[in-house]
Every structure is written in C-alpha cells, then in structure tokens.
Amino acid sequence: MSFIVVPILFCFFLPALSIYKPNWDSIDSRPLPNWYDEAKFGIFSHWGVYSVPAFGSEWFWWYWKGQRDAKFERFVQKHYPNGTTYADFAKSSSGARYFVLTSKHHEGFTLWPSATSWNWNAVDIGPHRDLVKALSDSIRAQNIHFGLYFSLFDWFHPLFLNDVKKHRTDFVQTVSYPQLLEIVNGYHPEVIWSDGDWEQPDTYWRSKEFLAWLYNESPVKEKVVVNDRWGSGIAGKHGGFLTYQDHYDPGHLLARKWENCLTLDKRSWGYRRYLKPSDVLSLAELINQLVRTISCGGNMLLNVGPDHTGRIVPIFEQRLREFGEWMNVNSEAIYGSKAWIHQSDGPTIWYTSQIRNATELSPSRMFNPQDTFNTIVYAFVLSIPRSGRINFPSVHLSDKTVVSIVGTPIKVPYRKGGTSLSVDLSGIPWQDLPSTVSVVLKIEFAATSHVNPLKKLAGSNEEEEENISEENAINDEKISRPSGGRRYRQMLELVSAAEEGEEE
C-alpha cells in the first residue's frame, strides 16, 4: 500500500515545484513584489575600472580600443606610460530605498571573484576585495534593498566575438550564464538589472530559462525584481519592470510598472575627472523628474558615479543630501503612493495618491480609484506663480474638502463655491514653506470626474511606446545606450565635444 501512496503523493506535489515556465507569457504573468513599487526611488552606481581614467565615460575602453578615437589615445599617451593597457587601470583603485551596483559592465571586469573571470576581477587585481559583498553588507545594514546590474555581453571577450562570428553559444555557456548564477546564489540581489543584451536574441542569452529558474528555485524567488533587457527586441515588452530606454519618461500612466533610469551627471554614467557644476542636474530638475515619474506609476533610478576610490564627489553628495531632505519632508506623498486617476494638470502640477483603507484593493494596481472619504490626493506644485493663485482643474470640491501643505501644520485657504479647487498661497510667508523649489499640497475629502486613465492606452501601439521622442528626456543632453539593430551605437556626440580641449 505504501508503495502506491508514495508516487501518488510525489506526483501530487510535483506541479508546485515549477510555477513559471520558460516562455514570456508565463514569465510576464509573475506579479512584482510589492516592495519595489513602494520604494519609488533608487540609486544606481556605475563603478568599475573606467572610474580610474575617469575620462569620457564608462565607455572609455570602447572609444580607446574599439573606435580608436584619437582623443582617447592622446589622453592615455599623456597621462600613462607607454604600454599601458586597460587592465592596468584596475590596479589603481544616497532618500533611496534601493541600490543597484554595476557588478560587471561591458568591459567584463567583475566586482566579485568570479570563477569565470580569472585575473579580471576585483579580488585578483586592483582593490583585492570582493566589492559586491562589501557594498551589499553596507547597503543592507541601512535597510536598503540591494540589487546588481549585470552586462550580458563583454566587448572584447574572445568567446563572445567568436560566437558572433560563427553563430556559437560558448560565451553564454561558459561565462555569462554561470556568472548570473554566481551573483544570485552568492549575493541574493533583490534587483537584477540586465543590460548589454542588444547584440543577440533572448534565446542566445538563455534569458527565459534563467528567469524561470530565478522565479521558481533561486534563493531570491519571493522578492527579486528584474528589468526588461533580456535580448534584442525584448525591452519594453517582456521581463519585469519596463525601462524601454534610458531617461524613459512617457508623461502618462502605463499599464505595467516601469522605471526611469537617468544619471546625475548629464554627460556620463561613470565618473569623469572633468566634471563641471553645470553638468550636474539641479535640485529642481531632480524633483521634476521624480514627480513626473511617480505620478505616472514609475520608479526613478538615479545614477551616481563614484571616483576610483569609491568616494562620492562633493557636488554629488550635496545634491543627494538636498534631494533627500526634500523627499523626507514630502515622504507621505512619495513612498507607498500610487498614481491617481489624473496624472497632471499641465506641466507644473502632478498628482499621487494614498488610500486610507486599501486592504480590498489589489496591491499590483497601477492607480488608486477616487473615493471622497478614503482617497488622499497629493498635488506636487513645481512652480508657484507670483500671484500665489493656483488652479487644480482635476480636483473637485466637496463640502468637507481640506487642503494643507505637506510637512507643515498650515491649512491652505481655497475659493468655495466653485467646481474645481483653486488655492491662494500669497498670504503664506515664504519662510514658512518647507521648500522654495516645490511645494506639495495634501488634499482630503475631494472629488473628481471618474475616468480610467488606462483606457486611452487600450489601442496604443507598443512600437510608439518604444520610440518615445527625446523631448520627454530631462534635456537635450540626454545620453542613450546602444539599441538593438546597431553594433555598439556611439553615445551622443556631446560626450566627445565635452572633452575637447580638456585633456590638459
């Protein structure tokens, strides 16, 4: 009898061992862990061998040895001895709720002692330390979620170059796939930020196989989130949260969770020795980008490039502290918030919301419904007119509406008798405001017209979403990563232009 029961029980429990299948329909069906949506803001750190020369950008090696840019060759000749190789640079040595470290960039140098990157990792040469472990321990001690960026390809790895030439998969089988397993099993990242995927399809990278394993069997299967860069043509379509492209800012609500990845230095992701104050995003620009992003259901991942010693330069530190102080004052309008059914009233007023009793609502919803008694609306005012009078067409009044300034006990007077909210801040001394850059209003017991902000997207073309125009970027100095269909697309010409005449 027991001989019969055992296999029956085994068969009964077997399906539970494999919930997600290695296909995009199954993988895309996995809900994102709630912590990611609630976090809203993370710090991205591009730190690697490129931080030593600190010239041009994190694409230093490619411009030097791939494009053989004369400017980069002159820089090396002037500052380093004859015979210097890229490997020689390795010998020299955040209000965010999550942190993402570049465990390996396109140069292939790993910040952990990878078994597949002998003598080209941070333990064998350079700092002689497991930097992934050191950063992981430090970040997690501050109760911040820790994640890892990982480049699927290496610019000049002979196995990858041979794979491309001969249509083989040796690089994936012996280098990149084992490295993905190493960082997951060894460091338990809660974010895996894949990149460098555009040269090959997801089948080459074994992406679906890896993600099915990650969600079903890995030590982080319950809490890990991933992005959408898992093969040419995949970004904006499959994976976890969507990134489409760097500096992605749609300006409207999306049906899926997304992330706006941008960099504090407008000209580079890695640290540059010729950084100028004008190259750094202002506090107002940072606030603008965060507000636009979270009002439309996204998270913002802000890159900060440390120097070769791991130090955050003073101007970066100052900007992060200013931004952190502003976020701390307005935290209730940011962390754990959801998009409202209206995202904005013009370019200077953006909305988020909280629900008092949200237990019956799906945590994976992209926006909060409007309920007069339970929905709290937050209005981010990015520019206060001289008159102090501000209109909020989307916010309708009830006989109980209360308006206050977040971070203060100040109640804001508003015009009664009208349909929509109109406030006057002229009677409030500016020194009583928590910020002169952006003020956030807390609006309780309001009403609004009931619309479905996602309905207009029902017939949208995914291709249009993927090709968002650059006018939605923070400014014209946007830097794009290479996209599928082009081999190693150069960054904008501004990078080269910025360094002209600065080699001395």
The pLDDT tens digits for 6-15 are 343 434 343 4
CB 396 within 8 A of CB 340: no
Residues of the chain with CATH 3.20.20.80: 31-329
- Asked if 479 contacts 263 with a C-beta cutoff of 8 angstroms, the reply is yes
Predicted pLDDT of residue 312 = 76
Would you say 111 and 131 are in contact if contact means Cβ atoms under 8 Å apart?
Answer: yes
* Cα–Cα distance for residue pair 289/309, rounded to 1 Å: 29
**Sign of dihedral through CA atoms 305, 309, 310, 314?**
negative
Q: Which two tokens stand for residue 47?
A: 């730190």
CA 192 to chain centroid:
11
Structure-token pair, residue 139:
């970040």
Q: Does domain 31-329 have CATH number 3.20.20.80?
A: yes
Tokens of 235: 């970004």
Alpha helices (runs of H) in 117-172, residue ranges in sequence order: 131-140, 158-166, 170-171
Considering the chain, tell me which residue range(s) the CATH 2.60.40 domain(s) occupy. Answer: 338-444
Please state, as a whole number, how many other Cβ atoms lie within 10 Å of the Cβ of residue 346: 11
Encode pLDDT of 387-436 as tens digits.
Answer: 999 999 999 999 999 999 999 999 999 988 778 999 999 999 988 999 98
What single string gives the DSSP state of each residue in 322-357? Answer: HHHHHHHHTGGGTTT-EEEEEEESSTTEEEEEEESS
Q: Do you know the residue count of the chain?
A: 504
Helix (H, G, I), strand (E, B) or coil at 21: coil
Which of left, alpha, beta for 143 (phi over 0: left; psi -120 to 50: alpha)? left
**Cβ–Cβ under 8 Å, residues 437 and 326:** yes
- Residue identified by tokens 């299948």 is 21
Q: In 3D, which of 56, 227, 263 has the Cα closest to residue 149?
A: 227
Do 189 and 146 form a contact (C-beta atoms < 8 A)?
yes
Coil, helix or strand at residue 345: coil
Q: What CATH architecture does domain 338-444 belong to?
A: Sandwich (2.60)
Matching residue, tokens 């089988």: 173
- Quote the pLDDT of residue 18: 53
Containing 323, the helix (H) or strand (E) segment is helix 314-329
| Strand-by-strand arrangement of the 145-151 sheet | 225-226, 191-195, 145-151, 98-104, 41-45, 298-303, 258-263
Say how far apart CA 370 and CA 445 lie, in whole Å. Answer: 10
Q: Which residues of the chain have pLDDT under 70?
A: 1-18, 48-94, 456-504
**One-letter amino acid identity for 351?**
Y
Question: Which pLDDT belongs to residue 58?
Answer: 39
Residue pair 128/121 in contact (Cβ under 8 Å)? The answer is no
How far apart CA 482 and CA 435 sit, in angstroms, is 38
pTM over 0.75: yes
Task: Say what the pLDDT of residue 165 is.
Answer: 95
DSSP structure string for 190-250: SEEEEE--TTS-HHHHTHHHHHHHHHHTSTTTTT-EE-S-SSTTTTTTSSSSB--STT---
The pLDDT of residue 98 is 94
pLDDT, position 457? 55
Q: Give the whole-angstrom CA distance, residue 399 versus residue 444.
A: 11
Q: Coil, helix or strand for 362?
A: coil
